Amino acid sequence: MYPAREIEKKWQSFWQEIELFKTPKNPKRKFYLLEMFPYPSGDLHMGHLRNYVMGDVVWRYLRMKGYDLLHPFGWDAFGLPAEEAAIKRGESPKKWTMNNISVSKNTLKLMGLSYDWDREVTTCNPDYYRWTQWLFLKLYEHGLAYRKEAYVNWCPGCQTVLANEQVIGGKCWRCDSPVRKKALTQWFIKITEYAERLLKDIDKLEGWPERVKTLQRNWIGKSEGAEIDFEVEGMDLKLSVFTTRPDTLFGVTFITIAPEHPVVEKLIRGTKNEKKIREYIEQALLLTEIERTRMDREKTGIRTGRYAIHPFTGERIEIWIGDYVLVSYGTGIVMGVPAHDQRDFEFAKKHGIPIKVVIRPPDRDLNPEIMEEAYEEEGIMINSGIFSGLPSREGIKEITKYMEAKGIGRKKVTYRLRDWLVSRQRYWGAPIPMIHCERCGIVPVPYEDLPVLLPPEEKVDFTPRGKPPLASVPEFINTTCPKCGGPAKRDPDTMDTFVDSAWYHIRYLDPKNEKEPVRRSEANKWFPIDLYIGGIEHATGHLIYFRFITK
Ligand SMILES: [Zn+2]
Ligand SMILES: [Zn+2]
């Protein structure tokens, strides 16, 4: 039998003595070997070790081949579970986290893994989150961080905001109250500004698995099409829809608006069905966006009783509100073309909406009376005024051109990718370094005042009271405005932990630097990462943010 205790101990202390895992200062054949850092929620489990042992094997192999390696480790240490421990058991989030880190670190050391512990990074330490805040200020400075209203899951029982994972079947995981949606003004990062670059540069990623690249392409979800304006009958109001199929424009028989679209209020106020519509909207917003847009789910909707005017034919077109439309995709309004979209077809059949054929297959005619499914392919345009007879692909261009000339529509590219909502109504995260002054508005914390420290836990009441915990800590929330010197308030929210993990790989290069996040010289030495080991589940979240932050 292998006497692990003795042999491991002997060699591990020898490795330590000769500083085997220390990163060379001036690498000749550099190799940056990185594994995704863990969230310290207890001790490590086999899933973690699987990742780390892979890294260790690579390190040892390359080391023997003569490479100079950087192989760091750290902790994604902010996050919800620490705060839950505080709420449920009155534990200190910091103590809970630090304790988990020390247990996990001990396990890693027992495994004899080849990490350079001198470069350890812990995201909940002020010497780290100071630079996370710095990064936020930089994004703000460049117009990439902005505030906007967004819906959050709200539990009226617990008086708190819930993460999507905490809403189970529309109810609060903790107290079973039905969850509602509530509009809150929050910070977003304008990742969509980089959608095209993030997409194009996927082709430049060397060594990335095809599967990850495909996931990212789909996540960014580029679609080219047109935006078309519809006037609303009897109102001074225009509805712009986005479609990838402007060639089917003459087949539009209804329009559907996302339930949370700001225009809905204007449309339904004072209408006969207002109460029913509001009930529908309330219900619709209980579902997550994923549930709402699932392909196998039946589209639901409700008539507003209002009509739009077809920009070419002048026909009256019913305006609906439907949960399958998302406000964040395209314009949040879509046109319904039952003859040429299967789900619109089913929707029309169910609600008695007319079906109008405007694309004919090259070899036959379609009769809307007896059609059993939509015809979604290309074909020849019919019943389309001056565009009849054109192949549909050409029709897309011609109709768009015509609309642009008339000012009723335009060519448009949209992405499925959304801006990144980073505000969290939580304590255990990096405070958002912004100040709200009654006189000056939003004022960023000056760089030299960073970090904005979390107040000591003793001062914080973790019992949910309908506002973020930091809002109830006077020592934290009350401050002076850096601009006018008057009384002001700090932003009470903390940042999504994905902001912390979006740049940790950069900090490893220069973890003790107190003047800047990283020295350029160190970055030049070690970047790019030569091998990154982690789970496929991070293909779209972390790995998109991680790419974005260096753009
Ligand atoms: Zn609750
Ligand atoms: Zn001020």
pLDDT digit string, tens, across residues 318-372: 999 999 898 877 899 999 999 999 989 999 999 999 999 999 998 888 998 889 9
d(CA 514, CA 533): 28
Residue 447 C-beta-side C-alpha neighbours within 13 Å: 12
**Which pLDDT value is given to residue 525?**
94
Q: Which alpha helices (DSSP H) does 183-331 contain, by range?
A: 195-200, 210-220, 263-268, 274-284, 289-293
329-to-164, 220, 241 alpha-carbon distances in Å: 19, 11, 11
Residues 480, 486: contact at Cβ < 8 Å?
yes
CA of 487 to the centre of ligand 2 (A): 7
Does 546 score more than 70 pLDDT? yes
CA of 174 to the centre of ligand 2 (A): 40
Does 174 score more than 80 pLDDT? no
Instruction: Please give the average per-residue pLDDT across 258-281, as a whole number.
Output: 94
Which ligand places an atom closest to the C-alpha of 159? 1
- Domain 223-415 matching CATH 3.40.50.10470: the answer reads no
From 68, 70, 99, 95, select the one nearest 83 (Cα to Cα): 95
Q: What is the Rg, in whole angstroms, of the alpha carbon atoms belonging to the chain?
A: 28
For residue 408, what is the DSSP state? S
Which ligand places an atom closest to the C-alpha of 153? 1
CA of 8 to the centre of ligand 2 (A): 61
Is cis: bond before 492, omega within 30 of 0? no
Q: Is the Cα torsion angle 408, 401, 391, 387 positive or negative in sign?
A: positive
CA of 177 to the centre of ligand 1 (A): 5
Instruction: Please give the average per-residue pLDDT across 480-503, as a whole number.
Output: 95
CA of 477 to the centre of ligand 2 (A): 15
**Which pLDDT value is given to residue 464?**
67
Neighbouring residues of the ion ligand 2, judged by CB less than 5 Å: 437, 439-440, 481, 483-484, 486
CA of 223 to the centre of ligand 1 (A): 39
Residues 77, 95: contact at Cβ < 8 Å?
no
CA of 450 to the centre of ligand 2 (A): 18
Q: Where are the domains of the chain?
A: 223-415
For residue 491, what is the DSSP state? -
CA of 87 to the centre of ligand 1 (A): 13
CA of 279 to the centre of ligand 1 (A): 22
Which ligand places an atom closest to the C-alpha of 442? 2
CA of 482 to the centre of ligand 1 (A): 38
Q: Is the Cα torsion angle 535, 538, 544, 548 positive or negative in sign?
A: negative
CA of 514 to the centre of ligand 2 (A): 29
Q: What is the pLDDT of residues 91-144, one digit of tens each?
A: 889 999 999 999 999 999 988 899 999 999 999 999 999 999 999 999 999 999
Instruction: Please give the average per-residue pLDDT across 454-461, as a whole number.
Output: 90
d(CA 135, CA 60): 35
Helices vs. strands in the chain: H and E counts, helices first:
17, 26
CA of 445 to the centre of ligand 2 (A): 12
Which ligand places an atom closest to the C-alpha of 483? 2
**Which pLDDT value is given to residue 421?**
86
d(CA 457, CA 127): 18
Q: What is the pLDDT of residues 58-72, one digit of tens each?
A: 999 999 999 999 999
Which ligand places an atom closest to the C-alpha of 180? 1
Q: Please calculate the CA angle 248-325-157 and round it to the nearest 5 degrees.
A: 175
Give the 3-state secondary structure of residue 12.
helix
CA of 447 to the centre of ligand 2 (A): 17
Residues 94, 124: contact at Cβ < 8 Å?
yes
Which ligand places an atom closest to the C-alpha of 174? 1
What ipTM, to 2 d.p.?
0.82
Does 158 score more than 80 pLDDT? no
Average pLDDT in the chain: 91
Which ligand places an atom closest to the C-alpha of 441? 2
22-to-367, 422, 471 alpha-carbon distances in Å: 75, 35, 43
Q: Please calculate the CA angle 472-476-477 and round it to the nearest 5 degrees.
A: 60
Residues 184, 147: contact at Cβ < 8 Å?
no
For residue 116, what is the DSSP state? -
Instruction: Please give the average per-residue pLDDT across 411-437, as a whole number.
Output: 91
Which ligand places an atom closest to the C-alpha of 178? 1
CA of 158 to the centre of ligand 1 (A): 4
